[in-house]
Amino acid sequence: MASIRRKKKTTIGKHVGTCKFCGGSVIDKGSFYGCVNYAKTKCSFTISKTMLGKSISQTNIKKLLTEGKTNVIKGFKKGENTFNAALIWDEKEKRISFSFEK
């Protein structure tokens, strides 16, 4: 893999975890996280950096990709409601979903 070093302080290109679809590297692409194999195999694995008005920290993205679950994130907004939930990787649906505390 070619490494591109930029002087500018940026997290773009930073490896955050392993792709749930193809096992490739998931990197910071600026406004979202995505699989490096997108260019090669059109792997469409992406994670948005903001969900329901909350920005998801890189720590939580790493947790999601390694453990399948983030910490509980407070203050998601849906319409009039605000709620707290952890993000989980749904193996069946192959997508991210919300996990509510019971």
Q: Which 33-62 positions form the footprint of Zn ion (CB under 5 A)?
A: 35, 37, 43, 45
Kindly indicate which of the ranges 4-12, 22-30, 76-84, 91-99 contains the residues binding Zn ion, using the contact rule CB under 5 A: 22-30
> Which is nearer to Zn ion, 18 or 99 (by Cβ)?
18
Binding Zn ion (rule: CB under 5 A), the pick from 17, 22, 25, 83 is 22
> Over the Cα atoms of the chain, what is R_g?
14
Distances (CA, A) of 30 to 33, 41, 60, 79: 7, 20, 16, 27
- What beta strand segments (E) does 36-94 contain? 46-48, 50-51, 54-55, 69-78, 81-90
C-alpha–C-alpha distance, residues 4 and 98, integer Å: 35
Q: Which stretch binds Zn ion (CB under 5 A): 2-10, 24-32, 60-68, 78-86?
A: 24-32
Residue 85 binds to Zn ion (criterion: CB under 5 A): no
Considering the rule CB under 5 A, would residue 87 count as an interface residue with Zn ion?
no
Q: What is the contact surface with Zn ion in residues (CB under 5 A)?
A: 19, 21-22, 24, 35, 37, 43, 45
